[in-house]
Chain A
Amino acid sequence: DAGVIQSPRHEVTEMGQEVTLRCKPISGHNSLFWYRQTMMRGLELLIYFNNNVPIDDSGMPEDRFSAKMPNASFSTLKIQPSEPRDSAVYFCASSVSIGEQYFGPGTRLTVT
């Protein structure tokens, strides 16, 4: 079984550029979560979707961040424009409803 798939695994970009992170959840899972992990703040939930609908986006830091889930097998997290303080590891996770969550390998983002 393929787990949660994220791309790219590493992204280095300059301040002001647009960054798009991609996630493919586990087939059959109907909930999808985006997290950010930093040394300073640990793991934080940014947004989660249930049946492709955003349910809670209160963790999205500001308007520069946006997330979409156009279908059950794909989601994107976009940062525009990016800033150095956005540097972090971004994880996508999926689950069946409010059940056990399975995490992807993460995208390590560096904004210079």
Chain B
Amino acid sequence: KQEVTQIPAALSVPEGENLVLNCSFTDSAIYNLQWFRQDPGKGLTSLLLIQSSQREQTSGRLNASLDKSSGRSTLYIAASQPGDSATYLCATFGRGSTLGRLYFGRGTQLTVWP
């Protein structure tokens, strides 16, 4: 079964810092990988989807990379702002018999203070 790990579990930084959130997975035979943010008491908001043939995706101040061979993905947040405070989750898509399933990490809880 796919295991997804996110490090660190929590991160607290001052506004303006550039951040790297890490995601690792045990089975490199994934289909796609998706990053989400979750605000307290809310649902998940999709940030970026990296398809299996891609190495990275960018949206505004966010950049996500994917290295399937090493089982890693990173989410880079440039010039962090207090509004970025949330929990960030990565999820891998299964392949073959598990196609359609998302396997989630436990998330990185980010706090950006002014």
**What residues make up the interface of A, taking CB atoms closer than 8 Å to B?**
4, 31, 33, 42-43, 45, 48, 50, 55-56, 91, 93, 98-106
Interface pick from B12-20, B59-67, B74-82, B100-108: B100-108
| Beta-carbon contact of B99 and A101 below 8 Å | no
Which chain A residues border B25 with CB–CB below 8 Å? none
Given contacts A45-B102, A48-B101, A101-B34, contact A106 B43 (CB under 8 A): yes
Report which of B34, B43, B102, B107 forms a contact with A33, defined as CB distance below 8 A.
Answer: B102
User: Closest approach, in angstroms, between the C-beta of A1 and any C-beta of chain B?
Assistant: 14
Chain B contributes a number of interface residues (CB within 8 A of A) equal to: 22
Cα(A91)–Cα(B34), bound, Å:
17
| Beta-carbon contact of A98 and B46 below 8 Å | no
A-B contact count (CB 8 A): 47
Looking at A93, A102, A103, which has the most chain B CB atoms within 10 Å of its CB? A103
Cα(A48)–Cα(B93), bound, Å:
13
> What is the chain B residue whose CB lies nearest that of A44?
B104
Task: Tell me whether B44 is interfacial, beta carbon within 8 Å.
Answer: yes
| Beta-carbon contact of B101 and A56 below 8 Å | yes
